[in-house]
Structures are given as C-alpha cells and as structure tokens.
Amino acid sequence: MTDLILVLVVLTNLKLLGSSRLGASIRVVAAQGVMLGLLPVLAHVHELSLHFAALAAGTVALKGVVFPWLLFRALREAEVTREVEPYVGYITSILIGLAALAASFWLGGRLPVSTVEPSSLLVPSALFSILAGLFLIVARKRAVNQVLGFLVLENGIYTFGVGIVAETPFLVELGVLLDAFVAVFVMGIAVYHINREFDHIEVDRLDRLKG
C-alpha cells in the first residue's frame, strides 16, 4: 500500500513536469499532498497513535484544502493566463524528470538510511520529489508555478521524514507544516502584489528592475 502511494507520488511529479495548465498543476499538487498526508498512517498502521492521526489530519487539511484555495485565489486575483509558460518544453521536462528519477534510485540505494523506513521506495521517491521541485522552480516562468515547485520540494522532505517519523518530535513536524503554510501565504500575497505593480507575474522580467 505504501508502495502504491509512493509510485503515485512519482507519477504525479512526472505529470507536473508535463502539465501545461496552472489549475491542473495546483490540483495535482493538492492530490499529492493528500496522499502524502495519509502515508504515515499507512506506514505505521500497527502502532497507530494520536501523534500520527493528528499529523495526518493536519497535513491533509493544509495541503489538500488550504494551499489549493490560497493558490486558486492568487490565480483569480492576479488574472493571469492559465498557461504555465515554461523555459524548458514539456517533453524535455519529462525526459529530464526520468533522468532525475533514475539518479534518485541510484542515489537512494547508496544512502545508508535505507534500513529504517517502511518501504524501499521511500528514499528514492523523496529524492525525486526534491529534484522535481527544484526543477519546477528553475524551469517555469510563472511565480505561481514556483510556489508549486516549492511545495513539491517540501513534499519530498516530508516523505523523507515519514521514514523516521517515530523518532521526530511532534513539535518539529508541526513547525515544518507551519513554515510551509506561512511560505505559501506570503508567496500568494507577493504574487498578487507583483501582479498589481507590473501587470504580469513573469519572473524572468524582474531583473529589469535594477536601477
């Protein structure tokens, strides 16, 4: 079951790399967040406690409901076109994603942490999420897409944390979630303000601001 979720996370990352619509991308990231929220519950189903249940509920609510709502609101208010407008084309992005996936599996097999986690797929898919998130931040023009890339990156770190969730204090997890929330909130406002000042949210034109 955890394997299935992790494979779905890998597929959603590839879908994000090949997707051309901002709205669809936001929904995919939300679905990924919900799946990852359920992951710790399923991974530690034998030792289910309030700790895991609260963490899962918090993650699902935040990543599945609040973030998409904030991002859709930013999209609506910024009145941007719905195209992603990539620097790197969709097909090239998918091919780069596949290369990154292969690299993550190669690296994941070599990291010494591979023994603690519930599934052997966990570390590679976490690494892949991190790489895919970084790529999305670098290779897309829209500021909203960079928020999405950041979220995918955070999802990767979260996946990594699931393996060692039993040892992580609850407070740290909550702190990470809160950080992500504040980041998305601030970026949503920033996107709106960038748009109001400059009539667009294309980051490649920000370098012309230098006086």
Partner 1 sequence: MNAVSFIPLLLALTLSPLLPGVINRTKAFFAGRHGQPLLQNYFDLWKLLQKGAVYSRTTTWIFRAGPMIGLAAALTAALLMPLGKCPALLAFPADFLLFAGLLGLMRFFTVVAALDTGSSFEGMGASREVFFSALTEPALFIALATLVRQTGQLSLSTMFGQVSNAHWLHSGPVLGLVVLALMIVLLAENSRIPVDDPNTHLELTMIHEVMVLDHSGPDFAFILYTAALKLWMLGALLLGVVLPFSGGNPWLNLAMALGGMFGLAVVIGVVESVMARLRLLVVPQLLIGAGAVATVALILTLR
Residues that bind partner 1 (CB under 8 A): 3-4, 7, 10-11, 14, 18, 90-91, 94-95, 97-98, 101-102, 105, 109, 120-121, 124
Question: Given the complex with partner 1, which of 91 and 113 has the nearer CB atom?
Answer: 91
Q: Which residues pair with residue 123 across a beta bridge?
A: none
The smaller minimum CB distance to partner 1, of residues 18 and 23, is found at 18
Q: Which tokens go with 148?
A: 């999405």
For the bound state, the minimum distance from the C-beta of residue 100 to partner 1, rounded and expressed in Å, comes to 11
By C-beta, is 91 or 189 nearer to partner 1? Answer: 91
Instruction: Compute the distance between CA of residue 5 and CA of residue 61 in angstroms, rounded to an integer.
Output: 18
Q: In the bound complex, what is the minimum distance in angstroms from residue 180's beta carbon to partner 1? A: 27
Q: Shortest gap between Cβ of 161 and partner 1 (angstroms)?
A: 21
∠ Cα 111 116 114 (to 5°): 20
Cβ 14 to partner 1 shortest distance, Å: 5
| The residue type at 207 | D
Q: Per this entry, what is the length of the chain?
A: 211
Radius of gyration of the chain, Cα coordinates, nearest whole angstrom: 17
Rounded Cα distance, 206 and 203, in Å: 5
- Minimum CB distance to partner 1 smaller for 12 or for 59: 12
Q: Which of 66, 74, 76, 134 is nearest to 100 (CA)?
A: 134
Instruction: Give the shortest CB-111-to-partner 1 separation in angstroms.
Output: 13
Contact indicator for 6, 126 with CB cutoff of 8 Å: no
Q: Which is nearer to partner 1, 96 or 166 (CB)?
A: 96
